[in-house]
Structure 1
């Protein structure tokens, strides 16, 4: 049995793992989804260290950290801070950073064809949010309309600070085994960019889903996560 900690991406929360949690629990695993600090925005001074500590404080012992999208930076920071507490990193349609990367710059450097999803920046410049009008087919392509209608109202402003910060990664992070779930129909982080980020890994699977397999194919995603944890 593995212990899983599930980490959401930008503008999302622990809620997005609704269907993956029972699918992993039914396979005998312990699972917890965590909220990164600053949901809703308006919080100054947040850092990647704050995200790492939110992850590490959510469990005892060792865990498999699963990061979706921007959550790839969050779980990487946690592994660098406490590698002895991380048995594996699993990136799901995620940004897998190298030392010195900034999340915003990494997104701008993507080379694959992406859908246009406007951002709404808060007046205080401390956070941003996806413009939810028309966002369903971009964020959740492949999911049912009912699931899109459930998810979209829960999207919240994301604190900008951690996304502007250069991540510091070294031997701690490098020593933790990593896996990657590539989503081949992703309209946010194109598959060609995911393939490049996963090129040095031996444990890679591909799902014919959009950016959010936790909604469009949660049971199959859980099966991949369970296998990767072994």
Structure 2
């Protein structure tokens, strides 16, 4: 989905979701006179790739990397990554820092310079109980690299962990549209590379972390733990927002994004 005029926002969804999850926010930003591109990562949303064709986190992030690389000279983007999408945004910041005016981590995985990208996921898994994913399904996928495990988010998990403060129609939409994803690519070399994110590239881009204050999947303590790893990151709080902030508090999110774009050029 794309639009014209003003600043250019690029929106990246989280695990199992797609560009569709931004449907409330996209028209609000466009009505304010800005361009918006909501992307499907590989094998997500309407993207045609199959799970077994997405063999690495870079493959998964390719739609974002290609979109940022193709942006016109002189255009500086506002990247917004939700949940797992924060790691995609971090990779794009490292590759193309001169093309990014600001990066927004929306209740997202936000890595830091000098540590592996996977550190945020590892800490999350350390904190959550074994039954955290509730009725979500593990699916074995045969790939050219051998059998891999994919995760399909279950309706009870969606209702109680992600959409518990969102309108019922958004939860219904999610249960119809979520797709399984190779689980977090935790064994990917990119995730383990301590030198991947550099201070001169990733660290040079202005970062804003938006805390979803009513998030049942990643509580405030976990979100602030990531913030503390990266001193200087600006922090915004969205009261009453569940994990899917774009559904539970779309107006508040839009207003915050407009303010951020006006501050950083």
Question: TM-score, normalising length from structure 1?
Answer: 0.90
Distance 2:62 2:153 in 1: 25
1:155 and 2:178 matched: yes
Q: Select 2:215's aligned residue among 156, 177, 186.
A: 186
Which residue of 2 is the match for residue 108 of structure 1? Answer: 125
CA-based RMSD of the aligned residues comes to: 2.3
Structure-2 residue corresponding to 1:127: 150
CA shift, 1:198, in A, is 2.0
Q: CA separation of 1:38/1:163 partners in 2, compared to 1, >3 Å: closer, same or farther? A: farther
Q: Which of 210, 219, 223 lines up with 2:242 in the alignment?
A: 210
For residues 99-148 of structure 1, what are the alpha-carbon distances to aligned partners after superposition, in whole Å with 9 as ceiling and x for unaligned? 3132642421347x998323311122242111223521311121111221
The 3-state SS of whatever aligns with 1:57 is helix
Long gaps (5+) in structure 2: 1-5, 142-147
Equivalents in 2 of 1:115, 1:89: separation in Å?
32
User: Would you say 1:197 and 2:226 are equivalent positions?
Assistant: yes
The alignment's TM-score, normalised by the length of structure 2, stands at: 0.79
Structure 1, unpaired ranges of 5+? none
1:70 aligns with 2:87: no
Matched, 1:164 2:178: no
Distance 2:181 2:111 in 1: 19
Larger RCO (CA within 8 A; separation ≥ 6): 1
* Residue 219 (structure 1) aligned to one of 242, 251, 257: 251
**1:150-193 deviations in whole A, cap 9, x for unaligned?**
22211110133634331521131011110011011101111111
Distance 1:88 1:23, change over 3 A: same
